[in-house]
Amino acid sequence: MTTTLRLALTDDQRALKAGVTEICKRFPGEYWRELDAKREYPEAFVNELTRNGYLGALIPQEYGGAGLPIIDGALILQTIHELGGNAAACHAQMYIMGTLLRHGSEEQKKKYLPKIATGDLRLQAFGVTEPNAGSDTMMLQTTAIRNGDRYVVNGQKMFISRAMQSDLMLLLARTTPREKAKRRGEGLSVFLIDIRSLPGFEIRPLRMMMNHSTNALFFDNVEIPADSLIGEEGRGFHYILDGMNAERILVASESIGDGRWFVERAVAYSSQRVIFGKPIGANQGVQFPIAKSHMAVETAQLMRDKAAALFDAGEQCGAEANMAKYLAAEAAWDAGNACIDAHGGYGFAEEYDVERKFRETRLYKTAPINNNLVTAYVGEHVLGMPRSY
């Protein structure tokens, strides 16, 4: 089978982008700036996106979503970032529901997906990281022990975003002690849990560098129904890995949007700011980093498009999705630096939004997976070199 890589948007995609643009225009820089200062969740923006069906874009039509391919989900997120917004407030809803879709029972899908599509239920929290298990997920210590028709959860999660704003959370916990697991990668299970009123469950917000609604979570003998298990017990790590390509493609798209925003702002500012009698953008020291950033963002987009085309054709895309995430995060970061440099002191002034975007875009070099681990993936899995971990 030949996978086609489209280089131009279809009419439907142009309409999709126009719809998202119309919403974003109603939420300008001031909106994001004010929330950033108060570290508040963009409730109105997320509700507007949900009401218009954009967060249910990837949910199949039979469950009430739009049933769009991943490239369209990518376009939605990219557009939000191109226009100065921050889709981090809701992006996880697009990719975590994939675990439910691929591995959940028909009963679970019917129970949750239509309500997630309409926005009656929010699934935006994804509980993986722990204080002693960052990049090395296999070291997770939070346990879920079966006791009759319940599992009892104990442990701690770190940096879990949007737990306060979600009704549901996808939780990865250990159901078999590590030493008893037959193979590496077994013994962890995924649960879809309702976190609205769970005795023994505590959420402590963390003030981060950017407005990201991130928390530490504590589980003290928290009882969850046994039917919140997704798929088979012990297979959770594989289920999560299975969803990584979608996550990489979508997060890359946000970085591509950021990169475009930085380049556009840098071009506009440096073309009109006159110092020493000419626009600063005429100086190669200012112009070249911006032009180079543009080339890097374009390259990252090509890789994202390739990854998405393979994903939508149901083909292997691990290498491309990882490379897209890496290239896009680095391109956006370089574009952010070029933009701040071009703005001189004004790059640091809040009212220009550059410093806010600069802080926001930095995250994607580190999370959801850091670029060192992506590089190790390419070295070890794509090029077949010896493993470091």
CB of 339 to ligand FAD, least distance (A): 21
Question: Given candidates 160, 229, 251, 252, which one binds ligand FAD under the rule CB under 6 A?
Answer: 160
CB of 111 to ligand FAD, least distance (A): 23
CB of 185 to ligand FAD, least distance (A): 16
DSSP string covering 13-28, please?
HHHHHHHHHHHHHTS-
Of the two residues 158 and 181, which places its CB atom closer to ligand FAD in the complex? 158
Question: Given candidates 3, 372, 381, 385, which one binds ligand FAD under the rule CB under 6 A?
Answer: 372
Best CA proximity match to 1, nearest among 317, 308, 313: 313
Helix axes 11-25, 70-82, angle to 10 degrees: 40
Q: Which two tokens stand for residue 129?
A: 């990281």
Question: Given candidates 13, 283, 299, 370, which one binds ligand FAD under the rule CB under 6 A?
Answer: 370
Q: What angle do CA 320, 364, 203 make, to 5 degrees?
A: 125
Question: Given candidates 27, 54, 151, 159, which one binds ligand FAD under the rule CB under 6 A?
Answer: 159
CB of 152 to ligand FAD, least distance (A): 21
- Region 78-137 residues binding ligand FAD, contact defined as CB under 6 A: 126-129, 134-135
Of the two residues 212 and 325, which places its CB atom closer to ligand FAD in the complex? 212
- Region 171-230 residues binding ligand FAD, contact defined as CB under 6 A: 208, 212, 214
Q: How many residues in total does the chain contain?
A: 389
CB of 365 to ligand FAD, least distance (A): 8
**Sequence-separated (6 or more) residues with CB below 8 Å from residue 311:** 70, 245, 246, 249, 317, 321
Residue 90 to residue 68: CA distance in whole angstroms = 17
Distance of CA 172 to the CA centre of its chain: 17
- From the number of C-beta atoms within 10 Å of its C-beta (0-12, 13-18, 19+), residue 313 rates as middle
Of the two residues 335 and 374, which places its CB atom closer to ligand FAD in the complex? 374
- Is residue 173 within 8 Å of 191, Cβ to Cβ? yes
Of all helices (H) and strands (E), which one includes residue 123? strand 123-127
Stretch that binds ligand FAD, among 32-40, 77-85, 101-109, 367-375 (CB under 6 A): 367-375
Question: Given candidates 110, 366, 381, 385, which one binds ligand FAD under the rule CB under 6 A?
Answer: 366
CB of 76 to ligand FAD, least distance (A): 19
Q: How many CA atoms lie within 13 A of 116 on its CB side?
A: 37
Residue 201 to residue 226: CA distance in whole angstroms = 17
Question: Given candidates 79, 93, 161, 287, which one binds ligand FAD under the rule CB under 6 A?
Answer: 161
Residues in the site for ligand FAD, rule: CB under 6 A?
126-129, 134-135, 159-161, 208, 212, 214, 363, 366-370, 372-373, 376, 388-389
